[in-house]
Amino acid sequence: MVSENIITICDGTGCIQKGSDKLQAAFEKEIAAKGLGDTAKINLSGCLGMCDKGPVVVVNPGYTIYGNVAEDDVTEIVESHVINGNPIAKLAIQEDHLFNRFFRVFGDAKFFGKQMRIALRNCGIIDPENIDDYLSVRGYEALAKVLTNMSPQDVIDQVKKSGIRGRGGAGFPTGLKWQFTADQNSDEKYVICNADEGDPGAFMDRSAIEGDPHTILEGMALAGYAIGAKHGIIYIRAEYPLAIERLEKAIEAARASNLLGKNILGSDFYFDIEIRLGAGAFVCGEETALIRSIEGKRGMPRPRPPYPSVSGLFEKPTLINNVETWANIPVIILDSGDWFSTVGTEKSKGTKVFALAGKVVNTGLIEVPMGTTLRQIIYDIGGGVPDNKQIKAVQTGGPSGGCLPVEYLDTPVDYESLAEAGSIMGSGGMIVLDETSCMVDIAKFFLEFTQNESCGKCTPCREGTKRMYEILTRITEGKGQLGDIKKLERLGNMIKKASLCGLGQSAPNPVLSTIANFRQEYEEHINDKKCRAGVCVELLIYQVTDKCVGCGACKRVCPVNAISGAKKEQHSIDTDVCVKCGACMDTCKFDAIIRV
């Protein structure tokens, strides 16, 4: 019998939904039934990122990843793998060879092959609710190191040397931000973790916190030491209950172990962290708006300067970094800034986490070295586009970013290259679009979001995004007019120039980038009243082909009696009456109804 067996069950939201909670009970029962006792241990881990293969179970030794595990498989896994040491090939996710710290734990799978995990280094490996697990992977070692051997300026110098830039999207050099805040003379300073992840379609921060909350606390404590702050605040979305719960537990455990609070690790350093909840306002991701929100007010941005590093929360010097940035800090201190700067490209150091979603086979959370190309991410890690469809575009940066067409697939992922190509790095949303996605509709989707989330302070953003949304709506409804594209471009450029904060300055990007790269689609919508992707309902026509056998099923289901035809003869649809609900097409058993 193999002595140390560790069965890790993914406890992320995706896997729970697919039944991982039942698996835990099943494994416990099976281990008890076989009398394995202490030789087999069950771990619950944070999101492993392979959400579409959930529930995911990893069995060590053997580093075997099992996907889509059902309760019925549990007995076999325990008998064959745990007791006899024979991994079950048919249940395992089999893929290519790879190298990475992460893989030494999790073994071979193509999904992980091009990845490199620094920020997410512990996600899926340790139990996020157990501080001892974090300590066993060198947790809080960086904090001990700076408290015994490093001056605050040494810490800042390491962060500067690493070349890390803000992971929230704008890419400001983190070390400089720390230096500015440290240089301020003030009796009170604050360290803030921005976990107000509002980009629709992105869940990097949530998974990072759920999988490894202590890393964030340690990163913030390191900053507190470096800049001379006593108070840390984590501003997190109220929509993330599990992440909040795990943070609360982590803070409590850290306080109990003297890693937060007074006289940390026997030094005279004091640092404590509290959690403040957001309440669903996208603009609060902007740092000055976030500060207003923590102060209990409407989250509206204010002009900068003064920057928060000079006058931030309660008008005191404040250092704000994004969750992913914080997660990198302990590694930079432990392995040195010089080491960190060897990863990535010349101007963009380290790795970046992306939430890969949309029309791609493997959706989930990935972390790649800067400089990896979009093609590598989508095809090597993401497994390409499902259902043999053609990829049309990649959207990065969410509502502030742009859509890049296929020609740009070889663009390396770094701040400059993405900006040159016409999109942005953003916080890490990456949505793959295929031929069934309409670019005008996607632009409309993002504008609907930004015009709704605009705080209303600047007129160009408040009114301009509404007008742009109206124009896009009429284009998708077949009422587009000549000159609409020009109007969108003019409005868009004006909003970008005349808005105060990042929301307004970037809100027109999805529209401007789709016009730049997919102008033809806009022209088709306006001039030919056609939507090639078949998304814009008002522009579609339903037709009956000669496959029709005249069964009459469509006729019965049509809510407006638009279908006529004698029994056993080909029917036809009166397009003037048709409301384009699609009920006939869903009902037809002979695929005789098409949409053109």
Partner 1 sequence: MIGTEDKKIEQLTSFIKSVADKPHPDSYLIAVLHKAQELYGYLPREIMDVISEQMNIPTANIWGAATFYHYFNLNPPGRYTISICLGTACYVKGANDVLNAIKNHLEIDLGQTTEDGLFSLQPARCLGACGLAPVIMIEDKIHGDLTPKSVVELLEQYRKREK
Write down the least CB distance from residue 590 to partner 1, Å: 20
Question: What six digits make up the tokens of 3?
Answer: 């002595």
Nearer to partner 1, 288 or 345 (CB): 288
Write down the least CB distance from residue 457 to partner 1, Å: 11
x/- site string to partner 1, residues 201 to 220, per CB under 8 A? xxx--xx-------------
x/- site string to partner 1, residues 241 to 270, per CB under 8 A? x-----------------------------
236 scored as a contact of partner 1 (CB under 8 A): no
405 scored as a contact of partner 1 (CB under 8 A): no
Nearer to partner 1, 82 or 195 (CB): 195
330 preceded by a cis bond (ω within 30 of 0): no
Nearer to partner 1, 206 or 571 (CB): 206
Distance CA 9, CA 23 (A): 8
Q: How many residues bind partner 1 (CB under 8 A)?
A: 52
Nearer to partner 1, 155 or 540 (CB): 540
- When binding is defined by CB under 8 A, the residue of 437, 465, 509, 514 that contacts partner 1 is 437
Nearer to partner 1, 414 or 434 (CB): 434
Backbone angles phi, psi at 87, to 5 degrees: -60, 145
Strand partners, 40: 5
Question: What six digits make up the tokens of 432?
Answer: 């793959």
Phi-psi region of 422 (alpha: psi -120 to 50; beta: other; left: phi over 0): left
- When binding is defined by CB under 8 A, the residue of 131, 455, 554, 592 that contacts partner 1 is 455
x/- site string to partner 1, residues 326 to 355, per CB under 8 A? -----------------------------x
The residue with tokens 């469509």 is 554
Nearer to partner 1, 67 or 350 (CB): 67
Distance CA 459, CA 448 (A): 17
Nearer to partner 1, 38 or 274 (CB): 274
Q: What SS3 class is residue 302?
A: coil
Among residues 144, 175, 196, the alpha carbon closest in space to that of 329 is found at: 175
312 scored as a contact of partner 1 (CB under 8 A): no
395 scored as a contact of partner 1 (CB under 8 A): yes
483 scored as a contact of partner 1 (CB under 8 A): no
Contact 290, 194 (CB under 8 A): yes
Among residues 429, 284, 292, the alpha carbon closest in space to that of 352 is found at: 429
- Work out whether strand 391-396 and strand 364-369 pair parallel, antiparallel, or are unpaired: unpaired
404 scored as a contact of partner 1 (CB under 8 A): no
Write down the least CB distance from residue 323 to partner 1, Å: 13
Residues in 170-199 at the binding interface with partner 1, rule: CB under 8 A = 197-199
The residue with tokens 């008890």 is 32
Residues 6+ apart with CB under 8 A from 271: 220, 221, 224, 225, 229, 230, 231, 232, 260, 261, 264
Among residues 260, 210, 277, the alpha carbon closest in space to that of 15 is found at: 210
How many other C-beta atoms can be found within 10 angstroms of the C-beta atom of residue 416? 14
Which region among 60-68, 71-79, 200-208, 567-575 touches partner 1 (by CB under 8 A)? 200-208
Query: Number of helices (H) and strands (E), helices first, in the chain?
Result: 24, 17
Q: Which amino acid belongs to residue 408?
A: Y
280 scored as a contact of partner 1 (CB under 8 A): yes
442 scored as a contact of partner 1 (CB under 8 A): yes
Which region among 129-137, 294-302, 321-329, 481-489 touches partner 1 (by CB under 8 A)? 294-302
579 scored as a contact of partner 1 (CB under 8 A): no
User: Which segments within 285-410 are labelled E, that is strand?
Assistant: 318-322, 351-358, 364-369, 391-396, 402-405
Among residues 352, 318, 312, 332, the alpha carbon closest in space to that of 166 is found at: 352
- When binding is defined by CB under 8 A, the residue of 109, 294, 461, 573 that contacts partner 1 is 294
Residues 6+ apart with CB under 8 A from 387: none
Write down the least CB distance from residue 41 to partner 1, Å: 27
Residues 6+ apart with CB under 8 A from 425: 169, 171, 352, 396, 397, 413, 414, 415, 418, 419
Write down the least CB distance from residue 380 to partner 1, Å: 18
Contact 577, 555 (CB under 8 A): no
Nearer to partner 1, 345 or 437 (CB): 437
Write down the least CB distance from residue 298 to partner 1, Å: 4
Distance CA 231, CA 272 (A): 5
Distance CA 199, CA 193 (A): 17
425 scored as a contact of partner 1 (CB under 8 A): no
Nearer to partner 1, 178 or 282 (CB): 282
363 scored as a contact of partner 1 (CB under 8 A): yes
22 scored as a contact of partner 1 (CB under 8 A): no
Nearer to partner 1, 119 or 431 (CB): 431
200 scored as a contact of partner 1 (CB under 8 A): yes
The residue with tokens 């380290």 is 350
Nearer to partner 1, 450 or 499 (CB): 450
Q: Which secondary-structure segment (H or E) carries 323?
A: helix 323-335
- When binding is defined by CB under 8 A, the residue of 35, 185, 268, 296 that contacts partner 1 is 296
Nearer to partner 1, 239 or 463 (CB): 239
* Contact footprint for partner 1 (CB under 8 A): 13-14, 17-18, 51-52, 54, 197-203, 206-207, 238-241, 276-282, 293-299, 314, 355, 357-359, 363-364, 395, 398, 429, 431, 433, 437, 442, 445-446, 449, 455
